Homo-oligomer: A and B are copies of this chain.
Amino acid sequence: MAETLIKVDLAQSPYENEQVHNRWHPDIPIAVWVKPGDDFVLETYDWTGGAIKNDDSADDVRDVDLSTVHFLSGPVGVEGAEPGDLLVVDLLDIGAKQESLWGFNGFFSKQNGGGFLTDHFPHAQKSIWDFEGMFTKSRHIPGVRYAGLIHPGLIGCLPDQAMLDEWNRREQSLIDTEPARVPPLANPPFSQTAHMGTLSGVARDKAAAEGARTVPPREHGGNCDIKDLSRGSRVFFPVYVKGGGLSVGDLHFSQGDGEITFCGAIEMAGWVHMRVSVIKQGMAKYGIKNPIFKPSPIVPNYKDYLIFEGISVDEQGKQHYLDVHIAYRQACLNAIEYLKKFGYSGAQAYSILGTAPVQGHISGVVDIPNACATLWLPTEIFDFDIQPGADGPIKHIKGDVDMPVSYDL
């Protein structure tokens, strides 16, 4: 069995675990060193470090302090990896911790981060998903069951100082355009809740003051939330610092393209079994700026889809210019409306789109002024038939259970 190089104790605060961190900074010390060719296991907290509970109240989702996320395991240093190399990572397997075979999905309050459809679902809501072997189902959303498309929402290498400075510069420029916005346009460094691994004292405070937040994906990968970067994938990461400094966290049992519910996919604590190797000077050889990857040979093989279209005209009938974001929102809203005809609440339908292996395609981006996005809903995940037919839909879902909601205080 591969060695577990980083362990996490779910009963312990992640701040007490020195092999965990929640910011990006080149000064965060390597937590553990490995050699090219090694395979090993890293355990991880769920992205919130245990803030969300397996219960029937959404209070924890409403009240979560998002400045604390994401708790990552690492950084792992790979001997011989140097700036300009590509770090090749084989995700050999990923799983939940045996003592924690469940995950959560939810919507943040619009006051606390919101989500893709926050104007339609402005309140904190939560669903809990139980894992049964390779499958998951929820006591809050009847009639669906998925095979897991397990993946890390967040994985990547440490930036060097120049890249970090660039991140902070450009994101602050965006924030400056509308500093009071709720939710904000971006999150600047925030020292108070920063966990900088083994750094302490002045070194910790200096790094924490400029450490990049973990929410956005960036050149190094990071919080890409790409559902297809699943167990079995091979990923090629740019290396910016000596040893690479690979960190991982934010594991998902399943997610739809876009992670539209933001809180988030089906979020879980767990472990990642990986092997690492290095392509020397791979960034220049292949012209790599962002990570590239190859998908897994083992993923849920859903094939029968119902596909919803959306265009970049918003809910108020306003025409936007080739805006894929709005087009995808329309496709999602169309799918939610459709699912409601079978008895789901809007929140339940939204949560299905956020957690099931839904595909979101950028179908057309040149036919001015409308972008066209499509949402692919696998029909096999439902216990009943959701195909359209002459007889109209049947209300299989009776409305006797729904997702808990917690209103803003």
Contact of A290 among B101, B309, B392 (CB under 8 A): B309
Chain-B contact segment, one of A194-202, A225-233, A398-406: A225-233
Q: Which has the most chain B C-beta neighbours within 10 Å: A290, A293, A303? A: A290
- Taken residue by residue from 109 to 150, chain A's Cβ proximity to chain B (1 for < 8 Å, 0 otherwise) reads as 000000110000000000000001111000000000001100
A162 at the interface (CB under 8 A from B): no
CB distance from A19 to the nearest CB of B (A): 21
Is A325 a contact of B365 with CB atoms below 8 Å? yes
Contacts of A135 in B (CB 8 A): 92, 232
Is B294 a contact of A368 with CB atoms below 8 Å? no
Is B298 a contact of A225 with CB atoms below 8 Å? no
A310 at the interface (CB under 8 A from B): yes
Contact of A372 among B217, B309, B325 (CB under 8 A): B217
Compute how far the CA of A212 lies from the CA of B216 in the bound complex, rounded to whole angstroms.
Answer: 40
A260 at the interface (CB under 8 A from B): yes
Compute how far the CA of A185 lies from the CA of B321 in the bound complex, rounded to whole angstroms.
Answer: 7
Is B364 a contact of A273 with CB atoms below 8 Å? no
Task: Tell me how many chains of this kind the complex includes.
Answer: 4
A27 at the interface (CB under 8 A from B): no
Contact of A363 among B174, B227, B367 (CB under 8 A): B227
Compute how far the CA of A365 lies from the CA of B361 in the bound complex, rounded to whole angstroms.
Answer: 12
Chain-B contact segment, one of A71-79, A203-211, A239-247, A279-287: A279-287
A contacts with B: majority SS: loop
Is A366 a contact of B288 with CB atoms below 8 Å? no
Is B39 a contact of A92 with CB atoms below 8 Å? no
Is A174 a contact of B293 with CB atoms below 8 Å? no
Given known A-B contacts A187-B368, A325-B322, A295 and B305 have beta carbons under 8 A apart: yes
8 Å CB contacts to B: which residues of A334-388? 334, 337-338, 340-341, 359-374, 376, 380, 385, 387-388
Is B325 a contact of A323 with CB atoms below 8 Å? yes
Q: Which has the most chain B C-beta neighbours within 10 Å: A148, A225, A325, A371? A: A325
Is B321 a contact of A324 with CB atoms below 8 Å? no
A173 at the interface (CB under 8 A from B): yes
A300 at the interface (CB under 8 A from B): yes
Contacts of A280 in B (CB 8 A): 390
Is A317 a contact of B279 with CB atoms below 8 Å? no
Is A373 a contact of B362 with CB atoms below 8 Å? yes
Is A184 a contact of B309 with CB atoms below 8 Å? no
Is A307 a contact of B295 with CB atoms below 8 Å? yes
Contacts of A227 in B (CB 8 A): 363
Is B392 a contact of A317 with CB atoms below 8 Å? no
Given known A-B contacts A1-B98, A294-B307, A341 and B215 have beta carbons under 8 A apart: no
Is A216 a contact of B367 with CB atoms below 8 Å? yes
A219 at the interface (CB under 8 A from B): yes
Is A300 a contact of B300 with CB atoms below 8 Å? no
Contacts of A92 in B (CB 8 A): 132-135
Contact of A334 among B257, B264, B290 (CB under 8 A): B290
Compute how far the CA of A101 lies from the CA of B92 in the bound complex, rounded to whole angstroms.
Answer: 14
Given known A-B contacts A101-B1, A320-B174, A368-B187, A225 and B287 have beta carbons under 8 A apart: no
4 closest A-B pairs by beta carbon, nearest first, are: A92-B133, A93-B133, A360-B362, A324-B324
A interface, CB within 8 angstroms of B: 1-2, 39, 86, 91-93, 98-99, 101, 115-116, 132-135, 147-148, 166, 170-171, 173-174, 183-187, 215-219, 221, 223-228, 231-232, 236, 257-262, 264, 273, 275, 279-280, 282, 285-311, 313, 317-325, 328, 330-331, 334, 337-338, 340-341, 359-374, 376, 380, 385, 387-390, 392-393
What would 10 A/B residue contacts be, using CB atoms closer than 8 Å? A147-B298, A215-B367, A224-B363, A226-B364, A258-B363, A259-B365, A287-B334, A294-B304, A325-B325, A360-B362
